[in-house]
Structure 1
Amino acid sequence: MTMRSIKCGFLPLVDCAPLIIAKELTFAAQEGLDLTLVKQPSWSALRDKLALGHIDLAHMLSPMPVAMSLGLGGMPANIDALMVLSINGTVIGVSNELGQKLEGNGWVNTFNAPHETSKALSAAASGPLRIGIPFPFSMHRILLEMWLFQSANFDPSQVEIITVPPPKMAAAVRDGFLDMFCVGEPWGTVAVQQSGATLVLPGARIWECAPEKVLGVRHDWAEANPDTCRSLVRAIYRAANWLGQAENTLLAVEILARNQHLDLPDHAIEPALNNCIVASSEKAPIRSEGFLEFHQRATNFPWRSQAALIGDKLASWHGLDPSYAQKVARSCFRADIYRDALAPIGVELPRDLE
């Protein structure tokens, strides 16, 4: 078999697991792919390398392909999402100081109560809440807007959104730069362990099946390499299926912890894979069903309806025509490639409207 060499950028988050497992357990090699994983320091660095062709594909925040295709941000390019890599997996947390104030006011942390938590935050805030997110075009920002502005009637003046790369989130909390944060695991757990933060809510309590990460490629690359795209989808689908089996969790943690991947201790990675979060250093683990999914509930299907919602959000933030933004967004999520890759091997695919 002739091996096709491809480079994939990723950020060290638990939800890059399908890519790492596809390489380490040879799902990619079985499809004839010599997959090289290239760790990136930030989403902006990953975006630029993909746009410039320094990498072939990327582990991306789900709004990134849409934003780049709409010409938003520093490096516009036509980007396709071949599949969804994960749903959910984000946490919202508060600094030690804000957490103590919330509890002093009588708030009880169940890690499951968005309405009660937003009310407590509003009462405790003495000024604009400085909230860290990993990137301006992210599901984190969409979730915060759904939660605070649409459901809790926060005034936007009560919030200051600050961009902080995921690996630096814990330090930003510890140094008093942030009051709150929304980030993907393991960096919420790291903030608890290193900065005394308290995790107050999983993203899944705001949107039950939020598409968190996608497999992004340049549109022209996808058109020029259709067989490679289909092989990629099959390899990563198999890796995601493997991750969805509970008996594989211990091995998955060991693989992800390696220094070329997340380079973190097992105890920082394991909670998310077991849907069992340690919300604060003084509390017992909290079970949070559906916290992070790699395969169940048609996780990997690139729903164009979800893309349209992302396009609508980006349009509202940047004054774009909503119909145009939704059209571009829908074209980015390549359900056609996904179907072509998996239908021949007997995968049951969604039949509803995309």
Structure 2
Amino acid sequence: MRTLPLSVGFMPLVDAAPLIIARELGFAEEEGLALNLQSAPSWSTLRDRLILGQIEAAHMLSPVPVAMALGLGGLPTQLDALSVLSINGNVIGISNALANEIATHGTMPNFLDAQAAGKALAALNRPLRIGVPFPFSMHAELLHYWLSASGLNVAKSLDLRTIPPLLMADAIAAGEVDAFCVGEPWGSITVEQGGGSLLLPGAAIWQFAPEKVLAVRRDWAASEDDLTGRLMRAVWKAGRWLGRQDKRATASEILSWPEYLGVSTEITERALTGNLLINARGKSRTVPRMMEFFDGAATFPWKSQGAWIGARMAARFGLDRAQSAAKAAAVFRSDLYRRHLGPLGADLPAASEKLEGALASPTTAGTDSGTLILGPDRFFDDQVFDPRRPEC
């Protein structure tokens, strides 16, 4: 098979692992691709490189293609999510000063208790400056959802500030923000440097949040169907490999290389195993399903996930919720996923949408050829999102 070059952008985060593993362990080569992985300094830079055609595909925040479809951000190019690269993986951290302030109002909440953590922040009764990597991100959506449901007046008291992931630890240490929501390893780096502690994993807010997607321009996917299929298959194989617990040590070592994350293997392994150090005193906690790459149809681009993001954005930006949910659902290309990955034996759910937040425990679901086990996908406040009734 002739090897074809393909340029793919990524941010130095643990959840870029499927692209990195696809290149380094030969899954891309099996599909006849020579992946040229290009690191970007910020999400805006990565998005712009993709839009301008400087790269063909990207490791992307799941809400970015949705924002483009809704006309947010001022750029007209349509992007599509071919597959989900990772589920969960974010952490919410707080400055040492904010930790002391919370302690004066009571006790520090349990690390996995989103209800208690949200109430603790709302009880401070003051504006909160919180760093996020990009305005259109799962970080921003989770924070708005969680803090609003916890009683914080987000319109008056939530001040989101855009800070690239690599600079988040510096920002919290310098007092530029009170807290942050960021992907690993940059929350753990904050703990290592002593600038703050971890308050909550993102998975405690939504147990099955589609964090990053494999994004391409819609016109590119239409004109380069063969390349699209090759890329999707290579990344799917890498995700399957990452889904094996016995591969996490090897993955941690590869991700730590200077051309990728450039941090210690110990730090990357924390995120992959879910065994996090949450403060400088050495306190540790284990997060179930801290980050998923494969199990439970983790790579499937559920249209209901896109619809949830679209409905949330519509509520925040004053758009029609039903129309926004429909446009957002169209961005998650389950049709391409079925066509290109079905022949590999990928689990293909019988439907392309589901009730988001309805699963409290592992649940058997029908597929095109049998069954699969879907993991819990609860929201912390037990809300359920019906993509057919997004206005509710």
TM-score tier, shorter chain, comes to over 0.9
2:10–2:39 Cα contact (<8 Å) kept: yes
Alpha-carbon distance in 2 for matches of 1:72, 1:236: 28
Q: Are 1:205 and 2:204 an aligned pair? A: yes
1:47–1:75 Cα contact (<8 Å) kept: no
Counterpart for residue 84 of structure 2: 84
Counterpart for residue 295 of structure 1: 294
Structure 2-normalised TM-score? 0.87
Aligned residues: 352
Alpha-carbon distance in 2 for matches of 1:50, 1:25: 25
Question: 187-196 or 6-15, which moves further after superposition?
Answer: 187-196
Counterpart for residue 237 of structure 1: 236
CA deviations 1:129-181 (Å, max 9, x no partner) are 100111000001111111110x2121121221111111000000000001010
Counterpart for residue 252 of structure 2: 253
Counterpart for residue 175 of structure 2: 176
1:232 to partner: Cα distance: 1.1
2:169–2:195 Cα contact (<8 Å) kept: no
Counterpart for residue 223 of structure 1: 222
Matches within 5 A, 1:1-354: 1-124=1-124, 127-149=126-148, 151-156=149-154, 157-354=156-353
CA deviations 1:88-123 (Å, max 9, x no partner) are 000011001111222343323421111111222233
Amino acid at match of 1:235: A
Structure 1 unmatched ranges of 5 or more: none
The structure, 1 or 2, with the larger RCO (C-alpha pairs under 8 Å, 6+ apart) is: 1
Alpha-carbon distance in 2 for matches of 1:70, 1:283: 44
1:170–1:195 Cα contact (<8 Å) kept: no
1:253 to partner: Cα distance: 0.8
Counterpart for residue 366 of structure 2: none
Question: 161-170 or 114-123, which moves further after superposition?
Answer: 114-123
Question: 39-48 or 63-72, which moves further after superposition?
Answer: 63-72
Give SS of 1:124's match.
coil
Amino acid at match of 2:186: W
Structure 2 unmatched ranges of 5 or more: 354-392
Alpha-carbon distance in 2 for matches of 1:215, 1:163: 22
1:196–1:280 Cα contact (<8 Å) kept: no
Structure 1-normalised TM-score? 0.97
Change (3 A) 1:75 1:20: same
Question: 30-39 or 116-125, which moves further after superposition?
Answer: 116-125
Alpha-carbon distance in 2 for matches of 1:202, 1:347: 29
Amino acid at match of 1:82: L
CA deviations 1:227-280 (Å, max 9, x no partner) are 111111111111011111111111111100111111111222111101111111
Alpha-carbon distance in 2 for matches of 1:196, 1:298: 37
1:87 to partner: Cα distance: 0.6
